[in-house]
Chain A
Amino acid sequence: MNALDIIKPENQVFCKSKLMTDTTLSYCPGCGHGTAHNLAMEVIDEMGISEDTIGVAPVGCSVLAYDFMNIDITQAAHGRAPAVATAIARTWPEKYVFTYQGDGDLAAIGTAETIHACNRGENIVIIFVNNGIYGMTGGQMAPTTLEGMRSSTSPYGREIKSMGSPLKMTELVANLPGVHYVTRQSVHTHKHARKAKKAIKKAFENTRLKKGLSFVEIVSNCNSGWKMTPLESNIWMEEHMFPYFPLGDIKVNGILK
């Protein structure tokens, strides 16, 4: 079988979403961001809502999300995406509004905006990509960096006593009444990506039904920041990240699992 046989439409398992631009991704080879972007764009395309969707990009590796997603996007100040999305959703209640944020953006500098947008039950989708590190700025410790994990600002490993425990933002917001749907997924295998896509779709469906806030965490890798090969980083993620950040639904239809 040659390559052309493999890429026949009937054999295709995944392809680039029509809503992804042809711009070369700025992400490191092996990073999960590209897949997460593509899944979000597939969902928006399949639901036929691209003309009514407004994205909010963060500060971090995905600051340039607007270069890759062929939809209208407002790029927010560091951590403020949920506040920006709040205002867009309030002034355009018929639109689909989502934020796409990393762990430093959402769980450190933007903690207040995250918690309060969740608590108000804003009718938005938050896609939270958690790779346990500040990738964009060169691999510093994030609020979600695991105990003992090395980074450029925890060069001897994260020490709980002085640096605190890795923050489980997803479990935290799940306890707020305004939050309708909370799930934790990953995108490192086809099987996981399919499940993540279902979760993202459910989140956007919730917006359509005006159910309030949907929060989709995607535990992902950062092979560059973790100083591993892509494959090593995915194995390390399974062995170390998943036990602390277990995959699966945390809150469905407003009810904690």
Chain B
Amino acid sequence: MSELKLMKGNEALAEAAIRAGVDAYFGYPITPQSEVIEYLMTERPEERTGMVVLQAESEIAAINMVYGAASTGKKVMTSSSSPGISLKLEGISYLAGAELPSVIVNVVRGGPGLGTIQPSQADYFQSVKGGGHGDYKLYVLAPSSVQEMADFVEDAFNIAFKYRAPVLILSDGLIGQMMEKVNLKDQQERLTDEEVIKQNGDWATTGKTKNRERNIITSLDLQSEKMEARVRRLMKKYEQMEQEDMRYEEFQTEDADYLFVAYGSSARIAQKAVQLARAKGIKAGLLRPITLFPYPKKVLFDLADQVKGILSVELNAGQMVEDVRLSVEHKVPVEHFGRTGGIIHTPEEVLEALEQKIIK
């Protein structure tokens, strides 16, 4: 039993969070994601499920509130947009270092600096190449529809608790603001305090009982050998993520001579460009990475044996294209196409770029 609704991406994400039995949300207003906290405040989730919603004094406070609730084993999330995520990066590094399950949502706008409030995909590097300090990675999910904005909340928490690690949902102003129909899942019960303790009591700071040692949540190891062991433990998680939880989608790649690689909103536009290309007799296909880390490296490596060239389509000045190049190991030409400043490329522009940069 699900419910069909017409919603904005940001609202669908917020509603999905309530329905997924999330315990707490901490946020701070920033365009183009403010609808998340506005929707939550309007819905009174504390009455619907007991979910805590709090507007923090800053993005920094909000991510540290996430750290606090996550340290006790609760299901907790925050959302923001690019400049706000930059502020959260210290906290995200701590979440990774202290191995805390948590979900962060970035509804990306253009940068650098205050940039623009219009959609962008210019936070790819920040999301998959670290962003914050130290040796860590985020599991990054990139929704390309309002439906995925809703569905990825639960998926993100499943990964976060499977690995005890922070997970990023990397959306953008286009997916966050547009309205589409969305199938909402049924309400999932929030865990009771007793269930949280039963599930996470072996590591979470829920209060030291007589039958166990005290639990400590920290990212600090002053002993180098211990710190190195922690880093190795993290790297092992990331390896396991690559083996078990990498996600992607292919569109008309079976007979493709040319390949677009695009995620999120760009993938929708590239999909249309595939259709335009085929109408002109150009056999194009699309690979859409759903997880940006882990990245579908092997899939790309294999596709490079089949296609004559690859165009990485991104709403930025060229970021993911580096990973595409690394994946195909110079087997075929790889170029980038993308608009910036909040301008959304059209399918016609994308096809033209393929013809000019790859087919020639």
Residues of chain A at the chain B interface (Cβ within 8 Å) = 50-54, 56-57, 63-64, 66, 69-77, 80, 83-88, 90-92, 94-95, 112-113, 115-116
Contacts and interface: CB of A to CB of B under 8 A. Distances in A.
Interface in B63-106: 64-69, 71-72, 74, 76, 90-91, 94, 98
Nearest to A53: B207
B218 interface: yes
B129 interface: no
A87 B57 contact: no
A94 B214 CA distance: 19
Contacts of A63: 220
16 contacts: A54-B206, A66-B218, A71-B214, A73-B216, A75-B218, A77-B90, A77-B91, A80-B61, A80-B91, A83-B56, A83-B61, A83-B65, A87-B67, A88-B68, A88-B72, A94-B193
B198 to A, nearest CB: 15
A165 B26 CA distance: 34
B52 interface: yes
Nearest to A49: B207
- Considering residues A51, A64, A91, A116, which has the most beta carbons from chain B within 10 angstroms of its beta carbon? A91
A52 B67 contact: no
Contact of A50 (B62, B71, B208, B219): B208
Nearest to B57: A116
B68 A86 contact: yes
Contacts of A76: 64, 67-68
Given A87-B24, A91-B76, A116-B57, A71 B68 contact: no
Contacts of A115: 57
B94 A77 contact: yes
Interface residues of B, number: 39
Contact of A70 (B58, B68, B214): B214
B65 A75 contact: no
B217 interface: yes
B69 A87 contact: yes
Contact of B68 (A50, A51, A85): A85
Contact of A51 (B58, B62, B207): B207
Contacts of B68: 56, 74, 76, 83-88
Interface in B145-204: 193
A52 B206 CA distance: 8
A92 B54 contact: no
Nearest to A57: B218
A72 B220 CA distance: 16
A66 B216 contact: yes
Given A83-B61, A116-B57, A72 B218 contact: no
Nearest to A77: B94
A74 B71 contact: yes
A77 B70 CA distance: 14
B205 interface: yes
A80 B88 CA distance: 12
- Count chain B CB atoms within 10 A of each CB in A69, A73, A94 and give the residue with the most: A73
Contacts of B26: 87
B23 interface: yes
A136 to B, nearest CB: 11
Contacts of A87: 24, 26, 52, 54, 64-69, 76
Contacts of A83: 56, 60-62, 64-65, 68
A64 B223 CA distance: 13
A91 B72 contact: yes
Given A70-B214, A71-B214, A88 B71 contact: yes
B326 to A, nearest CB: 32
Nearest to B26: A87
B360 interface: no
A241 B90 CA distance: 34
A81 B214 CA distance: 19
B24 A90 contact: yes
A52 B207 contact: yes
B205 A73 contact: yes
B209 interface: yes
Contacts of A75: 98, 216-220
A190 B61 CA distance: 38
B34 interface: no
B25 to A, nearest CB: 10
A66 B26 CA distance: 26
Contact of A72 (B76, B193, B215): B215
A113 B217 contact: no
A94 B54 CA distance: 18
Given A74-B71, A80-B61, A90 B54 contact: yes
- Interchain residue pairs A-B with the least CB separation, the first 7: A87-B68, A84-B68, A80-B64, A75-B218, A72-B205, A87-B65, A116-B57
B210 interface: yes
